[in-house]
Structure 1
Amino acid sequence: MALNVVSNKPHRGFGAGTIDLSNVSCVIIEDGQAYIDDGAMHAKSKVERGIKFSMNKEDVPNGKKCWVVWVAVDRMEVGTCYGGATACEMLVDAEARRGWKILADHVNKLDYALKRRFILEGLSPEEKASLRSLLMAHNPEWWAASSEELKQGLA
């Protein structure tokens, strides 16, 4: 017996086609410091809590630049490594409780990290160094097994 909702192709079971986020972590870069905050997965990181976000940058004239970096962990023949990393910009004015971010960009960059891409444009040299230090300190073996593309992107 098969469940055929739209076509005559058999259903592949509960959860078929779902996205597994268990191998993705969220890194926040704030004031040049990188730290892991998995609350960002649901827009509830320390820096995002209590902030009303807008899609208009003009609504946040005094916002400070922060980044969410989606980091995907991958298992390869050489071992576990950082397989994808993408950075998303946002502005946060904690005093005014206002912020700017493009949710679609955050979702797309999360998808790109899951697809093992590295998109780190926009990060300053200080922010790249902070992210590199965090990743190296978090798991030196994963860093060593990671691709040269990531290492060069954070150089």
Structure 2
Amino acid sequence: MKELNEKQEVFFNILSGDSTDGDGGYGVGTMDLNNVTPIIINPEDNKIFIDMEALHGRSVVEKKVRFRPNKSHAGDDPKLYWIVWVSLNSTKDGPYYSGCTACEIFVSREERRIKLGYKSMPEHVNNLDKAIKSKFVLSHIDKKSKNLLKEFLITYDKDFWERSSKELKEQITV
């Protein structure tokens, strides 16, 4: 397992083509994850990174964790992580951050083979869908995590940030 603080060469997902184009038959109504990139924020350790495995619930912070939809399942003093769904779209000027939503997960600090945690799957699916539909749901994130996310998005590609909507910039600015 890779350490969270290792420098990784990971990029935003920018793929072309929509698998639901065509006759309107097979595949219609499915989510197109081509332009979505999951970002993990660990506010306690000041770490933020892209983890494509989060699209399938297998990010480095989700592995070996038994999740339940009850926060008390994660223990008395769980570790907070944010999974941020960022979608990209493109204009004639270039790509930009078109949608961004965040979901919290809590993981027990107790050392055991399979840790306990909290995650709301309906919230993750709904927020992923909102990000794909170019919506922003970031008002519930703590200030420290917002700052980390803002710095990460600007540092990743300043042009992406500058082409992004005013709504994203307002929701992410502390």
Do structure 1's residue 40 and structure 2's residue 54 form an aligned pair? yes
Alignment of 1:109-148 (within 5 A): 109-148=127-166
- From 58, 66, 69, the equivalent of 1:55 is 69
Q: CA offsets per residue over residues 75-106 of structure 1, 9 Å max, x none?
A: 12442100000000110115341100110000
Q: CA offsets per residue over residues 92-132 of structure 1, 9 Å max, x none?
A: 11534110011000000000000100001221111111101
- Structure 1, unmatched stretches of 5+, are 1-10
Task: Report the equivalent of 1:20.
Answer: 32
Letter in 1 for 2:32: D
Do structure 1's residue 70 and structure 2's residue 85 form an aligned pair? yes
TM-score normalized with structure 1 length: 0.86
| Alpha-carbon contact 2:84-2:100 (below 8 Å) kept | yes
Alignment of 1:93-108 (within 5 A): 93-94=108-109, 95-96=111-112, 97-108=115-126
- From 100, 123, 128, the equivalent of 1:85 is 100
| Alpha-carbon contact 1:87-1:121 (below 8 Å) kept | no
What is the number of equivalent residue pairs in this alignment? 145
| Alpha-carbon contact 2:31-2:129 (below 8 Å) kept | no
Larger radius of gyration: 1
SS in 1 for 2:104: strand
- Structure 2, unmatched stretches of 5+, are 1-22
- Residue 139 of structure 1 deviates from its aligned partner by 1.4
**In structure 1, C-alpha distance between the alignment counterparts of 2:171 and 2:41, rounded to whole Å:** 16
Aligned-residue Cα RMSD (Å) equals 1.5
SS in 1 for 2:64: coil
Structure 1 runs of 4+ aligned residues shifted over 2 Å read 11-19, 76-79
Q: Percent of pairs identical after alignment? A: 37
TM-score normalized with structure 2 length: 0.78
**In structure 1, C-alpha distance between the alignment counterparts of 2:126 and 2:82, rounded to whole Å:** 15
**In structure 1, C-alpha distance between the alignment counterparts of 2:132 and 2:169, rounded to whole Å:** 18
Q: CA offsets per residue over residues 19-76 of structure 1, 9 Å max, x none?
A: 2201000001112422111111011111111100011111112311111000000112
